A and B are shown apart, each in its own frame.
Chain A
Amino acid sequence: MSASEFEYESEEEYASSVSFDELEALSLTDSVHYTHKNRQTANGLSTHRMRYKPVEADEIEAQLKAHIGDVDSILQIGEDDCAVLMLKYEWNEQKLLEDFTTKEPGNLRRECGLATDTAVVSGLVETAGPEFMCAICCTEGPIETFGLSWCDHRYCVDCYVRYVRGSQTGLVKCPDTACHLYVRPGELAQLSAIDEQRALQKEEQESRAQRQNLGGPLTSEQIMAKYQKLASESSDEEAAESGDGEESADDALFNFHERHIRQQRLEKQERRNKVLLSRYWYAVVLQYTKKHARMFRNCPAVDCECFIEYRGFDSDVMSSVEEYVAHKYIPIVQCANGHRFCFACMSEDHAPATCAVVRKWIQTCEDETETSHWITANTKDCPKCSSPIEKNGGCNHMTCGECHYQFCWICLGDWSRHKNNFVCTSFDDEEAKKEREKQETSRVSLKKYLFYFDLFEIHRVSLKKDTEFLAKLEYKVQEIQQRAKVSWIEAHFYRESIDTLLRCRITLMWSYALMFYLESSKEKGMLEKTQSNLSNHVEALSKLFEITPTENVMKKKEMFLTKANALKTSHEKCIEIFMESLVLNRIKFVSDIE
């Protein structure tokens, strides 16, 4: 579906032309998201939005397979060979087609790790006789072996599986060093199938052996295995029986919904780790997305295997992400698992601070420049030899430890002018004035930095605490359900509220970092007001989470909803206002930030 089809004329027309089923299918398969909600801000300013689509690895995998199929319909060499060629050509279809027509076919195939003579030398999986010895593990036959169809290098299945598992790319060579062949996806599928089959057999054997061994004492490993098995079984049973017995119907609904999502995700992940073929395809997808880094981003969250596909902008003014960022826009995207990150710099959500500000802020926090700031603010340089001096007593008559120059701490002038009394008399001295001005500026800058750093840090710590709270949330929500006897949908507000709270904290945190780099102006004052408004809303909602005991939470549900909604509105507005100021260049940065 092309993007233009989204720009429908009127609501009615769109709704009538698409049936409900179609609409649902659309939203599931091809929903395009925007980096921010409205094209126009509240003040009527039109902005540019980046379009993106959260995709999962299997969707890209299917796309790639279709792509390979398309290319093969031209080349007619079989999809397996075609897949290897495409991988070798790093998905550069044109180059491949060009080489395919100009190069000698034998050479092309040899260069790309395909056999020139396509007579099948051996079957993929064969049981070798006693004369066989696996060159990797030296196990002697008879044993089940695996080898590519076009060469006679055979290794035992276990070694082959481990070998393929260890490689990180889609191009896996035959283990023999002299052989130039690549493992083709079709061959890999066979290996994967037999690996799965063997894993199943092994499991069965183990359980049989365990049943036979029941008479004797168990070893600690067996006990552990048994425990893990029982534990996983009992959780399976729970899932199966969640519909009846002690749990109420509402609980079951809650559990069903939650478990369904979680299980789907776990299954997918487990499959990827366990099954050789899906692991292989994930490697291929990763390679593809890295090659097309302009179009795809892998979600940076730990263990998240989602991708974001870049879909251009909703206006012709912007042409690239770099340009977009240069205009001080912040392309925050959200992956299918709900992780929010910046499409340009790949760090976590950092709106309203621009990528450049984030980089500079992090650098400033890490840098020792702030240490030197302390030195300039708390010490004075000897006017003669410039060694930094920290005052160690009450007397203002300083003698430099290095050059023994005597000067006045107050005016930084020569002490000789103070000779007769210990009162500073040359405060208006020209030279002394200059020295003092230098001190003043550095002191102000340090104060400013510490002010914003403290605010940033406070919110960072709160954010951390709230995230920890979120980890325990499920338990808490269940507790609310049980104690107040309500269904999960009624207790859902709790989760939504904390999600809102977390997002707003991130925004607040980064807004302080941004403020540090802004020159004071009327506009900045306005931003500060917005910021403090958001801050108030955050604190108001945050306070509600301290409500104990749990029974009372449900009584305050309305409070939660109002506060969370108010916060949401305030947050949206805040983001909008910051964006407006940044994009229209209405505020100036103190130091030049790229």
Chain B
Amino acid sequence: MRNPPRTPMTTTLNRPLTVFLSDPVPGITAVPHEDNLRYFNVTIDGPSGSPYEGGKFKLELFLPDDYPMLAPKVRFLTKIYHPNIDRLGRICLDVLKANWSPALQVRTILLSIQALLSSPNPDDPLANEVAEEWKNNEQNAIKTAREWTERFAQ
């Protein structure tokens, strides 16, 4: 079957973004790139109570042509010690893959990522070594995560 027609930027993309940008979420910023409005520089503050507290994590977010029918592409740019985020910054999160729905907004996605920082899920890992450490020696893993936050996410 042929691809669905490309959606014009003006209608389906601009409005949700204006809504999103005009009503920011505390602890999360998203700034569109000057040359490309589909590309965002995102920062997420490490949630309090987690080993990432006090860190400021940089991410990049890209809205593909077929957004919102396809999920946005998100990646961590800051190094992070987390069982569901690999060395390239790729994130293992169901709403970014199979469970994506066009009714989800960029805001919900970023909030889900923030929630993922609060509650790592070593049972569905992307970074296997980290996940193993998390399962076998949680104290040590949390300590490493805190060290990495201090070293890389300031």
Contact = CB atoms under 8 A, between A and B. Distances in A.
B7 A175 contact: no
B1 A162 contact: no
Interface residues of A, number: 22
Interface stretch (A134-142, A352-360, A382-390, A586-594): A134-142
B103 A136 contact: yes
A166 interface: yes
B49 interface: no
B149 to A, nearest CB: 30
A279 B5 CA distance: 14
Contact of A279 (B1, B11, B66, B102): B1
B1 A168 contact: yes
B4 interface: yes
A176 B1 CA distance: 25
A155 B4 contact: no
Contact of A177 (B1, B2, B19, B101): B101
A159 interface: yes
Choose among B11, B103, B105 the residue with the greatest number of A CB atoms under 10 Å from its CB.
Answer: B103
A159 B12 contact: yes
Contacts of A176: 101, 103
B92 interface: no
Given A137-B11, A162-B69, A273 B103 contact: no
B99 A136 contact: no
B103 A153 contact: yes
Instruction: Specify the main secondary structure of chain A where it touches its partner.
Output: mixed
B102 A175 contact: yes
B38 to A, nearest CB: 16
A282 interface: yes
Given A136-B68, A177-B95, A283-B1, A163 B15 contact: no
B25 interface: no
Nearest to A176: B103
Contact of A166 (B4, B12, B95): B4
Nearest to B17: A138
B69 A166 contact: yes
A359 B104 CA distance: 47
A165 B95 CA distance: 20
B125 to A, nearest CB: 23
B16 interface: yes
A154 to B, nearest CB: 11
B104 A139 contact: no
Contact of B103 (A175, A272, A282): A175
Contacts of A175: 101-103
Contacts of A273: 1-2
Given A136-B16, A272-B1, A283-B1, 9 more contacts: A135-B105, A136-B12, A136-B103, A137-B11, A162-B69, A162-B102, A166-B66, A166-B70, A177-B95
20 contacts: A135-B103, A136-B12, A136-B16, A136-B102, A137-B12, A137-B16, A137-B68, A138-B16, A162-B4, A162-B12, A163-B69, A163-B102, A165-B4, A166-B66, A173-B101, A175-B103, A176-B103, A177-B99, A177-B103, A272-B1
